[in-house]
Amino acid sequence: MAADRHSLRARKQPRQARAELTRQRILTAAAHVFAEHGYAAGTTNRIAERARISIGSLYQYYPNKDTILLELVTRHLDAGVLSLKEHRDGDRPDSLEAIMRGYVRSVIDNHLDDPKLLQVMMEQTPHAPELVERMARHEREQVAHTRELLASHPEVRVTDIDVAAHLVVSAVGGIVHQLVAAPRSVDVRRLEDELVAMVTRYLTLG
Partner DNA sequence: GCAGGATGCGAGTAATTACTCACAATAGTG
Partner DNA sequence: CACTATTGTGAGTAATTACTCGCATCCTGC
Q: Return the amino acid letter for 130.
A: E
Q: By C-alpha distance, which of 88, 104, 112 is closest to 196?
A: 104
- Within 144-183, the residues that bind a second copy by CB under 8 A are 160, 162-164, 166-167, 170-171, 173-179, 181-183
Q: How many CB atoms lie within 10 A of CB 66?
A: 21
Quick one: what does residue 19 bind among a second copy, DNA, none, with the CB cut-off 5 to 8 Å set by partner type?
Answer: DNA
CB contact at 8 A, 203 and 168: yes
Q: Which helix (H) or strand (E) holds 143?
A: helix 129-152
- Within 37-56, the residues that bind a second copy by CB under 8 A are 38, 40-41
Q: From the list 127, 137, 141, 155, which residue makes contact with a second copy (rule: CB under 8 A)?
A: 127
What is the Cα–Cα distance from 111 to 202, expressed in whole angstroms?
24
Pick the stretch among 68-76, 80-88, 97-105, 184-192 that binds a second copy (CB under 8 A): 184-192
Q: From the list 3, 10, 17, 182, which residue makes contact with DNA (rule: CB under 7 A)?
A: 17
In terms of Cβ atoms closer than 10 Å to its own Cβ (0-12, 13-18, 19+), residue 14 is middle
By CB under 7 A, residue 53 contacts DNA: yes
- Rg (C-alpha) for the chain, rounded Å, is 20
Pick the stretch among 39-47, 70-78, 80-88, 142-150 that binds DNA (CB under 7 A): 39-47
Q: From the list 125, 130, 145, 156, which residue makes contact with a second copy (rule: CB under 8 A)?
A: 125
Q: Return the amino acid letter for 84.
A: L
Contact residues for a second copy (CB under 8 A)?
Answer: 1-2, 38, 40-41, 119, 122-123, 125-127, 135-136, 139-140, 160, 162-164, 166-167, 170-171, 173-179, 181-183, 185-187, 190-191, 194-195, 197-199, 201-202, 205
Positions that interact with DNA (CB under 7 A): 4, 6, 9, 12-19, 21-22, 40-45, 53-57, 59-60, 63-66
